[in-house]
Amino acid sequence: MSCCGKDTTKERGQAILDIVDADTISSNTFNEPSLDYIFKYIIIGEFSVGKTCLLMRFQDGTFREEYESTIGVEFGTKNVQIQDTLIKLRIWDTAGSEKFRCITRGYFRGSIGAIIVYDISNRSTFEHIDEWVQELEKYNSSNYVLMIIGNKCDSSQRTVTTDEGKDKAKKLNAEFFECSAKTGENIEKAFMTLTELVLRDVSSGKISLENN
């Protein structure tokens, strides 16, 4: 598998209550001459499952032990390369808390990769996956590739088995990985697999970049 690009240009920021911001930033980034595509991804799931930590690990290779709940929406970017194709991933990290739901939904639109995260040590976060799929179907108008991530696989307090995670993903026609933002296990692999699948669907015309 091709791995991370030579150019690891990154941006990080916060966009609370400012949905227009997403489109403004996307168009600016096409000024980078060698970029072939910009892909918009969304990370969703219950609060405290580790969505922000997954993004931090993928983007910066860092991890934080303290829990700082995301307020609304944040974003990160990373340039990756699949064979000769240079892609900027613009990844929206949403708050899991119910009270931000009306804000976060606004960012689903145009996502061509969607990652639903649960915590393997917190069964109720796994049981909410279907609700997140329904939210996606309702608020994301684009075709997208779905990935389910069981995070915190370093934990000894497991309450969801790997087979349960795999079965769930299979039923949803989604890719599946167990990851650990803490140790870094499978993080790169998950994001790169998602990107390969999205690129495949973009190339075949199954996914349109019009709303991306």
Contacts to Mg ion by CB under 5 A: 51-52, 70
Q: Min. distance of Cβ 42 from ligand GTP in angstroms?
A: 13
Tokens 């279907």, residue located: 130
**End-to-end CA separation in angstroms for the chain:** 25
Per-residue interface string for the shown chain with ligand GTP, residues 87-106, x marking contact by CB under 6 A? --------xxx---------
Phi first, then psi: give them for residue 147, nearest 5 degrees: -130, 135
Tell me, what amino acid is at 131? E
Judged by CB under 6 A, does residue 158 bind ligand GTP?
no
Among the residue ranges 19-27, 76-84, 151-159, 203-211, the one whose residues contact ligand GTP (CB under 6 A): 151-159
- Does residue 193 touch ligand GTP according to CB under 6 A? no
Q: Which of 5, 38, 39, 50 binds ligand GTP (CB under 6 A)?
A: 50
CB of 100 to ligand GTP, least distance (A): 8
Q: How far apart (Å, rounded) are the C-alpha atoms in residues 16 and 95?
A: 10
Helix locations, the chain, DSSP H: 20-29, 51-60, 101-104, 123-127, 129-139, 162-171, 187-204
User: Rule CB under 6 A: which residues touch ligand GTP?
Assistant: 47-53, 64-70, 95-97, 151-152, 154-155, 180-182
